[in-house]
Chain A
Amino acid sequence: MPMIEVSGLTKKFGQITAVDSLTFSVDEGEVFGLLGPNGAGKTTTVRMLCCLISRTSGTAKLGDLDISHRSETMKIRKMIGIVHDNVGLYETLTAYENLEFYGQMYEAPRDLVKGNIKEYLEMLDLWDQRDRRVVSFSKGMKQKVAVARALIHDPQILFFDEPTANLDPEASKVIRDLILKLKGEGRTIFLNTHNLDEAQRTCDRIGILKTKLIAVDTTKNLENAFARKVTAIVLASLNDSILNAVESRNPKRVTVEGNTIRIELEDPDRDTPSVVSAISGAGGQIKSVKEEGVSLEGVSLEDVYLSIMRRGQN
């Protein structure tokens, strides 16, 4: 069942189109990643979905509530939790006081708020710091408080707007682990990120945004499409003429380790046979040919864009 259904959602700021006719949906219990560089329109999209700013056209539904119906705004605000792109905590208040205040503003029952503050601050390793003023906190600690704030009223849908941007790896990991835990509880999660690796680790599906939605697919399919694929060919022996034969097929990269040649090809399915025949032609004795997947790690968002753009042109 779709929990978030977006159709033709568009936002213009004057002459600038920040978000251009997005259409996609997010199922209940799914982690959906909106992946895009700075200025892609991620924050603008989330702000529209959270009824913080108006839309220029198009619409969206959260559960059975429509963001274009003013009468449903309050209900939408109550069912969602947001980790904003800025922590926006009251620095002169303590972590506990910040969370307590938002518990009230979200109209959550006192006991629930108390329980959630304890649960999440403990989980995020901040329980001992709860009575310290936020002003003395590190960036990572502040972000953790902001995450706890988003969860204070047990929302069904959670929006995270670049929750790990500029955080140290440890704090980033704690927050990613929490996202996965929340997913395990069956909550629907919408994650904005410009970090491909983060999207790959946490999301079930990814939408790639650059003002327009360039692609939406499962993380698996995107991985298959963009992970560097390496063909490993094991030979009985190796010599220069074999290597020259391989080079003649214009591979993207070739590495040699003992009698194994690892070749990165534009399209392994298409190009492997011709490489194999070239090796045979040069007198190479092939023992095995295997495809090795290399993860998205090291692949940059730019690679993905370029590759999508190239495909769009083909």
Chain B
Amino acid sequence: MRLWKSWALARKDMKILRRRKSLVGGLLVIPVLLGIGLPAILEYVITKKGAQSSVVVDLLGAFAYFFVLLSVVLPLYISSYSIVGEKLERSIEPLLATPTSDEEILLGKYIGVFIPVLIAIWLGTAIFMIMADAFSSASLGYYYYPNQSFGIIVLIAVPLACLYAISFSVFVSAKVNSAQTAYQLGVLTAVPFFILYVLGELGIVSLVSDLNILIISAALLVMAVVMFFISRATFKREEILTSWK
């Protein structure tokens, strides 16, 4: 596998993404809203409800998990277009005719979604940390962010959650012919994370535990790698070309 070929494909995909203003807007809006909205809730709870610092800390811990959830959902938004988009533009045939291997194409597709999504989510988390600190430091007496737990989430769990979601939706979009179907099937990948969230709320699983986050991350990594190999094994050029009329 030649990484430079995947990179060439990813750069092409990112260039196309940058030129589609509506996609870029859609990519940025949720992380930014989350980055602003979650601290706004915090501000409300502190000033209007006079929350204790222990409540503030609990809330901050719970908010962090939202960025993991976002990392599972947001990639679908672009990667649904990834291979389906090439099918729609009919550029898939010339692409498949080039001397590029299945793995190189798949990896290129992964990278082309991974980088812009990660940038968008990190932008959201940066806004979140700054605003959360600004609102909470007075009542806590210290700056809550940055800290180790959030570092683990942002630097490990978020990228791996993205990778996991991308691996699923690239697999799906190689099989279906509409971005909408790819998106809808892709949303299923988020289900386990919502279940985890509910379990966390019920106090069955702690989502503020670093160890648990690391375990979840490891599971995500394993699933992404498994999905990559399944995608590769089921990547049938002929099927991609001829099931499309």
Contact = CB atoms under 8 A, between A and B. Distances in A.
A42 interface: no
Contacts, number: 71
Contacts of B89: 88-91
B195 interface: no
Interface in B86-109: 89-101
B10 to A, nearest CB: 11
Contacts of B93: 52, 84, 86, 88
A52 B97 contact: yes
B5 A88 contact: no
A105 B238 contact: no
A200 B97 CA distance: 28
A86 B91 CA distance: 8
Interface of B is mostly: helix
A106 B99 contact: yes
Nearest to A87: B90
A93 interface: yes
A106 B242 contact: no
A7 to B, nearest CB: 21
Contacts of A13: 242
Give the contact-size bracket for chain B. 20 to 34
Interface string B11-27: 01001100110000000
B94 A101 contact: no
B90 to A, nearest CB: 4
Give the contact-size bracket for chain A. 20 to 34
Interface of A: 13, 47, 50, 52-54, 74-75, 77-78, 82, 84, 86-93, 97, 101-102, 104-107, 146, 149
Interface centre among A50, A84, A104, A149 (most CB of B within 10 A): A104
B12 A93 contact: yes
Contact of A105 (B20, B100, B237): B100
B241 interface: yes
Given A54-B238, A82-B94, 15 more contacts: A50-B97, A52-B97, A52-B241, A53-B241, A74-B99, A86-B93, A88-B89, A88-B93, A88-B94, A90-B91, A93-B12, A97-B12, A105-B5, A105-B98, A107-B5
Q: Which 5 A/B pairs are nearest by Cβ-Cβ distance?
A: A105-B98, A77-B99, A88-B90, A104-B8, A88-B91
Interface of B: 5, 8-9, 12, 15-16, 19-20, 89-101, 237-238, 241-242
A243 B97 CA distance: 62
A102 B97 CA distance: 10
Nearest to A44: B242
A105 B8 contact: yes
A90 B238 CA distance: 21
A50 B98 CA distance: 10
Contacts of B99: 74-75, 77-78, 105-107
Contacts of A74: 99, 101
Contacts of A87: 90
Contacts of B237: 52-53
A202 B89 CA distance: 30
Nearest to A79: B99
